[in-house]
């Protein structure tokens, strides 16, 4: 079940509708949250970090200098509909315009997904086939795991026909927010038989997002030879403390997932209220480096439009 109405959310989290209404605005980027994720929200807690990620807040109406509709330059790196080619050796295929959840800080909340709805896969696949410098294909969106099982299998078979592709990387929030949707038996069997090196990068920002169901889903992917990594976004009021990120890294690892990236907020219009100031960020990561083994400390990065890689952020860097 997907919650798309404020009254449904209010009933689920035991907060009076009139209180939620005072906190929200009517947005073109609509409320959308799977029941599994909603069940992880603490009932009665208006400041719950999971609720903050999905509630269309009146703070989204604030304007801020430096925030735009295309903060990472996706549209300029768009050689054809559905294909992004920003980094050496890698290309990203927008496989679906849909997500199972609408995260309020999403850097693609203004992306023209009507292009991807046309599914110009054939043109994208032809471009991939002619560029032997591309060795890794990244399935993104939206969320690729919102495709039908048959659609995913068909796409994988087509990608396997391109001989210079070696690695399949899937970026998905579905295994975290709606884990049962990711448990597609035939899809997992095809993944198991695939010649590709296989990587699943999930997106989890807070330890409370993880559950027995996420653990079971991660294990299914590990069982078919998929390497599991996590990326999170540093978000004010959600995970902007060393304690929270420490618990997140340890819980991810207990479920078979390695922390990979912690992104500074992409400066997309409507999300300025999530940005964490520089000084607290340094303090958080200094504490993490002291209290966690290196393999549990995610790399702090920012994506800068036009740069050929994710930019590592260090204390003496100008952010």
Are 143 and 174 in contact by the 8 Å Cβ rule? The answer is: yes
Could you tell me the maximum CA-CA distance found in the chain, to the nearest angstrom?
Answer: 57
Question: What DSSP designation does 80 have?
Answer: B
Question: What DSSP designation does 105 have?
Answer: T
Q: How far apart are CA 266 and CA 66, in angstroms?
A: 10
Residues in a beta bridge with 226: 198
CB atoms within 10 A of CB 129: 16
Residues in a beta bridge with 94: 140
Q: How far apart are CA 4 and CA 239, in angstroms?
A: 25
Are 61 and 95 in contact by the 8 Å Cβ rule? The answer is: no
Question: Which structure tokens are listed for 54?
Answer: 């999905």
- CA 44 from centre of chain: 26
Q: Annotated binding residue at 106? A: yes
SS (H, E, C) 159-187: HHCCCCCCEEEEEECHHHHCHHHHCCHHH
Q: Annotated binding residue at 99? A: yes
Angle 242-254/278-291 helices, nearest 10 degrees?
A: 50
Are 138 and 90 in contact by the 8 Å Cβ rule? The answer is: yes
Annotated binding-site residue numbers: 99, 103, 106
Annotated binding-site residue numbers for [4Fe-4S] cluster: 99, 103, 106
């Amino acid at each position: 079940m997907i919650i798309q109405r404020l009254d449904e959310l209010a009933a689920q989290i035991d907060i009076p509708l009139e209180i939620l209404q005072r906190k929200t605005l009517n947005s073109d980027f609509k409320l959308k949250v799977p029941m599994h994720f909603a069940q992880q929200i603490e009932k009665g807690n208006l400041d719950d970090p999971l609720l903050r990620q999905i509630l269309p807040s009146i703070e989204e109406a604030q304007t801020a200098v430096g925030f735009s509709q295309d903060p990472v330059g996706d549209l300029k790196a768009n050689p054809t509909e559905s294909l992004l080619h920003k980094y050496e050796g890698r290309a990203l295929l927008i496989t679906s315009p849909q997500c199972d959840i609408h995260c309020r800080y999403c850097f693609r909340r203004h992306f023209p997904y009507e292009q991807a709805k046309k599914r110009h896969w054939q043109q994208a696949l032809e471009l991939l086939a002619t560029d032997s410098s591309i060795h890794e294909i990244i399935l993104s969106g939206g969320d690729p795991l919102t495709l039908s099982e048959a659609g995913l299998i068909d796409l994988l078979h087509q990608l396997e026909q391109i001989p210079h592709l070696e690695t399949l990387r899937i970026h998905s929030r579905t295994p975290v927010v709606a884990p049962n949707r990711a448990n597609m038996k035939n899809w997992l069997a095809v993944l198991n038989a695939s010649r590709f090196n296989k990587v699943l990068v999930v997106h989890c920002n807070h330890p409370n997002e993880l559950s027995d169901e996420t653990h079971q889903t991660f294990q299914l992917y590990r069982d078919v030879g998929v390497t599991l990594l996590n990326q999170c976004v540093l978000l004010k009021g959600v995970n902007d403390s060393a304690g929270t990120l420490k618990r997140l890294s340890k819980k991810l690892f207990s479920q078979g997932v390695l922390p990979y990236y912690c992104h500074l907020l992409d400066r997309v219009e409507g999300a300025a209220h999530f940005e964490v100031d520089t000084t607290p960020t340094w303090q958080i990561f200094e504490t993490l480096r002291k209290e966690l083994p290196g393999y549990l400390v995610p790399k702090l990065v920012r994506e800068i439009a036009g740069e050929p890689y994710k930019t590592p952020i260090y204390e003496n860097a100008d952010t």
